[in-house]
């Protein structure tokens, strides 16, 4: 137990957590000298590699001297904060990574607040000090001020700080340049971990107890419960009891015990208090359950995460083109998949919707739910997704409250005017505006619903140079109406195949989402109108042939490339009366009510 160290790596998104894990595993000798290892080896999901971010917290370990160090790599994006919160229950200290150029960001504050509240010992690592515009000493002062703001204890304020470059592969206690630091490698960080991170706070002589903090599945072993052992020891073949949130305790037997060696799991004969292990032998386990030796034991405090602030509706796909690509189409398939997800994803909540074949999915942000939908799409599901909606509350006086977030934006000074216009339109209030060398830093309070689609708009406003991050602040009085989409859409009135002749005329009306030769149906959105109102169009219209030669005969048709929307962009774009149709091969935008006549009737009924 004294030879074990459990640490989590926490930081804002893209500050270098996964790259640091790569270096720690390499320089500790976890990989063979001739072994080929991919970059960001902890990013095992396809979506993580494509997006360049961590989505799920993952475990690894390495040995240094006579110590075993268990690592947990955590996400940096605010939408996946639930992964961070449950990971902190398995560790006794954290490595806080801060970019030596950008400094502490929104998610830095969030993850550090959770770590300090849990009483964990911090080590601060100023990453990317080898960059030309790095300012490590100034950033270190900002980090100390952040610790003071978050009311850290005296012991936590006495944190060690290291200067590092995860990409190059060094971490040093005093910054004397890249050449000197490279000679040291990660040795100073290894030593600091052993000195400053305490051994696990457990009771080896007590009865066996383990808190389930993660779940996995093996085709050979069934469900695996992953967590830290808080007391006693466990062996293969021992009887165990699962204490759930509700219901009677369930008995089982340990059929397999797995520890971590690098990235691989290895079979163990027994494990002792303080270690992080995976236990097989019980099914239907949930995150937060307690494993122990007897039914009359007191369960460990459950893992609690912040409540969700955004919800979306997922429905069975009922469009005219449904069932052509997907393997899982029915409400039963959709329900089973969603309820299977919430057993391993503590940040999501799922409820049955008000209509048949619909489900309400709640999470921290639209990106978290969009990642789930993208995973389902790749698994062969067909479904429809509604526009994100915020989750309102009521105070004691009956007033409606909505979630508010603190928004941080760093952008070029030339784009400040358009940004302030956008923030005003989205109901934001600017609290701080600071001019730096060539950029401007803006801090504002904005309703969560005002953030929908903001990052895409920021990319367009700043040509990709603006950086935004946000952090949940509080529930406050509901603000006025927010109009996020000023333009209407072009809605198909026909079912058929699009023609170049029709699209050439339609592109003068706005921006098209479809190209020639694509199948469309009545009620499908084929483009964005240049005017505020929706417009019914016929994208399948063909040129009438006669025996007379027309003036335009022989002229080529020139079409602009259609606008291609990603799943997240499509979800942010649609209006309250629209859906995104998601299939393994296509994304289509459509009206909830496909028939134009039925839509007019519904509008008349609503206004009556």
User: Which domains are seen in the chain, by residue range?
Assistant: 4-196 (3.40.50.300), 209-292 (2.40.30.10), 393-477 (3.30.70.240), 489-607 (2.40.50.250)
How far apart CA 113 and CA 122 sit, in angstroms, is 11
How far apart CA 415 and CA 398 sit, in angstroms, is 41
**Predicted local distance difference test score (pLDDT) of residue 36:** 43
Do the beta carbons of residue 504 and residue 558 sit within 8 Å?
A: yes
| 242-272 tens-digit pLDDT | 888 777 888 888 888 888 777 677 888 888 8
Quote the crossing angle between the two packed helices 136-149 and 106-117, to the nearest 10°.
50
Q: Are strands 93-99 and 4-11 parallel, antiparallel or unpaired?
A: parallel
CA proximity to 457, closest of 490, 433, 428: 428
**Predicted local distance difference test score (pLDDT) of residue 43:** 43
Angle at 25 between CA 22 and CA 31, to 5 degrees: 110
Torsion sign, CA atoms 394, 397, 398, 404:
negative
CA proximity to 479, closest of 405, 391, 402: 402
Residues 6+ apart with CB under 8 A from 32: none
Q: How many other β-carbons are positioned within 10 Å of the β-carbon of residue 428?
A: 25
How far apart CA 63 and CA 261 sit, in angstroms, is 8
* The residue count for the chain: 608
How far apart CA 469 and CA 193 sit, in angstroms, is 30
How far apart CA 127 and CA 13 sit, in angstroms, is 13
Which residues share a beta bridge with 67? 64
| Helix/strand/coil for 570 | helix
Do the beta carbons of residue 29 and residue 114 sit within 8 Å?
A: no
| Helix/strand/coil for 7 | strand
| 393-442 tens-digit pLDDT | 888 888 888 888 888 888 888 888 888 888 888 888 888 888 877 788 88
Supply 379's token pair. Answer: 């698994």
Burial class (CB in 10 A: 0-12, 13-18, 19+), 425: middle
The DSSP secondary-structure symbol of 381 reads B
**Predicted local distance difference test score (pLDDT) of residue 345:** 75
| Helix/strand/coil for 113 | helix
How far apart CA 147 and CA 168 sit, in angstroms, is 28
Q: How many other β-carbons are positioned within 10 Å of the β-carbon of residue 258?
A: 20
Do the beta carbons of residue 93 and residue 38 sit within 8 Å?
A: no
CA proximity to 172, closest of 180, 163, 160: 163
User: Rounded to an integer, what is the distance from CA 559 to the centroid of its chain?
Assistant: 37
Q: Are strands 161-165 and 170-172 parallel, antiparallel or unpaired?
A: antiparallel
| Helix/strand/coil for 375 | helix
Which residues share a beta bridge with 360? 313, 351
Do the beta carbons of residue 17 and residue 99 sit within 8 Å?
A: no
Residues 6+ apart with CB under 8 A from 64: 28, 190, 193, 194
Q: To which residue do tokens 């934006």 refer? A: 409
How far apart CA 425 and CA 450 sit, in angstroms, is 8
Which residues share a beta bridge with 235? 270
How far apart CA 581 and CA 586 sit, in angstroms, is 8
Supply 281's token pair. Answer: 């032998």
Torsion, CA 350, CA 352, CA 356, CA 359, rounded to 10: -20
**Predicted local distance difference test score (pLDDT) of residue 55:** 62
Long-range pairs, 300-307, Cβ under 8 A, ≥24 = 300/209, 300/211, 300/230, 302/245, 303/85, 303/86, 303/89, 303/211, 303/213, 303/346, 304/85, 305/81, 305/82, 305/85, 305/86, 305/346, 305/347, 306/81, 306/82, 306/85, 306/364, 306/472, 307/391
In degrees rounded to 5, what are phi and psi of residue 88? -65, -20
Global pTM value? 0.77
Which residues carry a binding-site annotation? 14-19, 127-130
Do the beta carbons of residue 186 and residue 169 sit within 8 Å?
A: yes
| 149-172 tens-digit pLDDT | 888 888 888 888 888 888 888 888
Do the beta carbons of residue 292 and residue 238 sit within 8 Å?
A: no
CA proximity to 89, closest of 67, 129, 119: 119
N- to C-terminal Cα separation, the chain? 71
Do the beta carbons of residue 165 and residue 176 sit within 8 Å?
A: no
Which residues share a beta bridge with 214? 226
Low-confidence ranges of the chain (pLDDT < 70): 1-2, 14, 29-57, 76-82, 204-205, 263, 544-556, 608
Which residues carry a binding-site annotation for GTP? 14-19, 127-130
How far apart CA 527 and CA 516 sit, in angstroms, is 13
**Predicted local distance difference test score (pLDDT) of residue 40:** 44
The DSSP secondary-structure symbol of 560 reads P
Q: Is 154 left (phi over 0), alpha (psi -120 to 50) or beta?
A: alpha
How far apart CA 100 and CA 128 sit, in angstroms, is 6
**Predicted local distance difference test score (pLDDT) of residue 77:** 64
């Amino acid at each position: 137990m004294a030879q074990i160290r459990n640490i989590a790596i926490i930081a804002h998104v893209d500050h270098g957590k996964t790259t640091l894990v790569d270096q720690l595993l390499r320089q500790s000798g976890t990989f063979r000298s001739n072994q080929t290892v991919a970059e960001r080896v902890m990013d095992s999901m396809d979506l993580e590699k494509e997006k360049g971010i961590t989505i799920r917290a993952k475990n690894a370990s390495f040995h240094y001297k006579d110590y075993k160090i268990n690592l947990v790599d955590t996400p940096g994006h605010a939408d996946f904060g639930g992964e961070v919160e449950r990971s902190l229950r398995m560790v006794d200290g954290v490595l806080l990574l801060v970019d030596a150029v950008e400094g502490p960001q929104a998610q830095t504050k969030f993850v550090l607040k959770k770590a300090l509240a849990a009483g964990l010992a911090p080590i601060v690592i100023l990453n990317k000090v080898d960059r030309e515009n790095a300012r490590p000493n100034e950033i270190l002062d900002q980090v100390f001020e952040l610790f003071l703001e978050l009311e850290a204890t005296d012991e936590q304020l006495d944190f060690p700080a290291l200067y590092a470059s995860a990409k190059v592969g060094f971490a040093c206690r005093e910054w004397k340049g890249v050449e000197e630091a490279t000679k040291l490698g990660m040795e100073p960080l290894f030593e600091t971990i052993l000195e400053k991170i305490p051994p696990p706070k457990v009771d080896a002589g007590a009865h066996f107890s383990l808190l389930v903090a993660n779940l996995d599945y093996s085709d050979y072993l069934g469900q695996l419960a992953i967590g830290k052992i808080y007391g006693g020891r466990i062996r293969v073949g021992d009887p165990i009891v699962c204490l759930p949130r509700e219901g009677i305790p369930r008995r089982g037997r340990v059929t397999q015990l797995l520890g971590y060696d690098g990235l691989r799991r290895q079979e163990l004969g027994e494990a002792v208090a303080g270690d992080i292990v995976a236990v097989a032998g019980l099914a239907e386990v949930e995150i937060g359950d307690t494993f122990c030796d007897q039914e009359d034991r007191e369960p460990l405090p459950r893992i609690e995460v912040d409540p969700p602030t955004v919800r979306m509706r997922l429905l069975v796909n009922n469009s005219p083109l449904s069932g052509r690509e997907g393997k899982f189409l029915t409400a039963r398939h959709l329900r089973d998949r969603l309820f299977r997800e919430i057993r391993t994803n503590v940040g999501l909540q799922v409820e049955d919707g008000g209509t048949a074949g619909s489900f309400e999915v709640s999470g921290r942000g639209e990106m978290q739910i969009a990642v789930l939908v993208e995973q389902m799409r790749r698994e062969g599901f067909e479904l429809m997704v509604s526009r994100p909606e915020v989750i309102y509350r009521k105070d004691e006086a009956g007033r409606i409250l909505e979630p508010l977030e603190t928004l941080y934006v760093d952008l070029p000074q030339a784009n400040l005017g358009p940004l302030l216009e956008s923030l005003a339109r989205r109901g934001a209030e600017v609290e701080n505006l600071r001019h730096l060398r060539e950029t401007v830093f803006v801090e504002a309070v904005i309703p969560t619903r005002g953030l929908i689609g903001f990052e895409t708009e920021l990319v367009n406003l700043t040509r990709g140079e603006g950086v935004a991050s946000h952090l949940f602040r509080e529930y406050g009085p509901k603000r006025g109406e927010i109009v996020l989409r000023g333009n209407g859409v072009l809605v198909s009135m026909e079912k058929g195949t699009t023609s170049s002749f029709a699209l050439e005329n339609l592109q003068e009306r706005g921006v098209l989402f479809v190209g020639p030769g694509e199948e469309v149906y009545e009620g499908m959105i084929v483009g964005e109108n240049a005017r505020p109102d929706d417009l019914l169009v016929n994208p399948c219209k063909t040129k009438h042939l006669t025996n007379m030669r027309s003036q335009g005969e022989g002229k080529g048709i020139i079409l602009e490339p259609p606008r291609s929307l990603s799943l997240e962009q499509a979800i942010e774009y649609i209006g309250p009366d629209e859906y995104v149709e998601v299939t393994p091969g296509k994304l289509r935008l459509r009206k909830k009510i496909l028939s134009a006549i039925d839509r007019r009737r519904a509008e008349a009924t609503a206004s009556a």
